[in-house]
Amino acid sequence: MFEQAKKHAPCIIFIDEIDAVGRQRGAGLGGGNDEREQTLNQLLVEIDGFEGTEGIIVVAATSRPDVLDPALLRPGRFDRQVTVPLPDIRGREQILQVHMRKVPIAPDVDPKVIARGTPGFSGADLANLVNEAALMAARKSKRLVDMHDFEDAKDKVMMGAERKSVVMSDKQRETTAYHESGHAVVAKLLPGTDPVHKVTIIPRGRALGLTMQLPTEDRFNYERQEILCNISILMGGRIAEEVFLNQMTTGAGNDIERATDLARRMVTQWGMSTIGPMVIGEKEEEVFIGREMTKHSNISEQTARTVDGEVRDIIQERYGIARKLIEENRDKVEAMARALLKYETLDAGQVSDIMAGRDPQPPVEGTGNYPSAPGGNVTTTDKSGGQPLPSLNPGEHPV
């Protein structure tokens, strides 16, 4: 490859997914004759062999810069790093307009609304969204792709495909309805939480029910109170099962796991507890990408017990707050559960009707729920017996 580049200079060599051959060397396992390490060594030699007048530029791309060998990033090699972030609302709108040129679009389709409702989507995700909307319109023998098709496609991409073939008993449907009602009611009652976008008991992906929240703006960080409210929302499903059905199910497993993870991060990473602003413990490192095989613990048993106590206190406090809200608003939880059993899916307007004490408006066939200004991260609630949903947004997000 480098010989061909020298013959055609000036030119650019582009190496995609360079982490496939550029992972950190010396994992502490096996010998030094790894084929990938030999390829990396040859790549380093070729780059160092370039003269300044040869007119050859080497460009590489990767989604895992954390595993690259330090020798690749030294001055004179790949010393210019350009981070390509996920597009913001304006960027998503422009990307959608590019992909929408390929399909017949109905007049009611507004790229701005779709962009505000697709937080954390990459360009490939948006292209997939347009393609899914076109497929849904084709299945219904439509000549144009309308806004309802985009709404259905967005639900499929964010929450997974509907599994209407799953046969659920009346008891399981009731349990799921009360579980999701608990999440939704707590989310609506706590101040400063993200608006509830949709609640459904139709199985999607690995979940038997989902509660989706969409923020009103792009989010880049979270306040302590917001994280505490999210923990209460996660606990709402289990509490509703206990209060109304006098039982516990495995459906709250993923909720409890995520709530515990949030509380532990508050204590050990974000300095949001009485322990103070300090990082406790070390992040896990993979030995197979060149990290040390031996692990050194920098946390004492006493500190570990203190961390466990802080995490338990946070969980129990937020659990108590969520339980009080549900017990004081039993009528709203019951009304929402009945509506879910009747309609299976409630949009933001129907949830607001229930919280205001009104009967929810029945869904109109062929129309979707188009949020006025959602954006940011998506919160979903899993009812799959503890199996986590795949992450929708890269990076670390509290929800």
Rg, Å, the chain Cα set: 25
| Contact between 110 and 150 (Cβ < 8 Å) | no
| Contact between 212 and 201 (Cβ < 8 Å) | no
54 is an active site residue: no
User: What is the distance between the alpha carbons of residues 392 and 399, in angstroms, rounded to a whole number?
Assistant: 11
| Contact between 22 and 69 (Cβ < 8 Å) | yes
Catalytic residue (choose from 132, 180, 241, 310): 180
Query: Residue by residue, what is the 3-state secondary structure of the chain?
Result: CHHHHHHCCCEEEEEECCHHHHECCCCCCCCCCCHHHHHHHHHHHHHHCCCCCCCEEEEEECCCHHHECHHHHCCCCCCCCCCCCCCCHHHHHHHHHHHHCCCCECCCCCHHHHHHCCCCCCHHHHHHHHHHHHHHHHHCCCCCECHHHHHHHHHHHHHCCECCCCCCCHHHHHHHHHHHHHHHHHHHHCCCCCCEEEEECCCECCECCEEEECCECCCCCCCHHHHHHHHHHHHHHHHHHHHHHCCCCHHHHHHHHHHHHHHHHHHHCCCCCCCCCCCCCCCCCCHHHCCCCCCCCCCCHHHHHHHHHHHHHHHHHHHHHHHHHHHHCHHHHHHHHHHHHHHCEEEHHHHHHHHCCCCCCCCCCCCCCCCCCCECCCECCCCCCCCCCCCCCCCCCCC
Peptide bond just before 215 cis, omega within 30 deg: no
Catalytic residues: 180
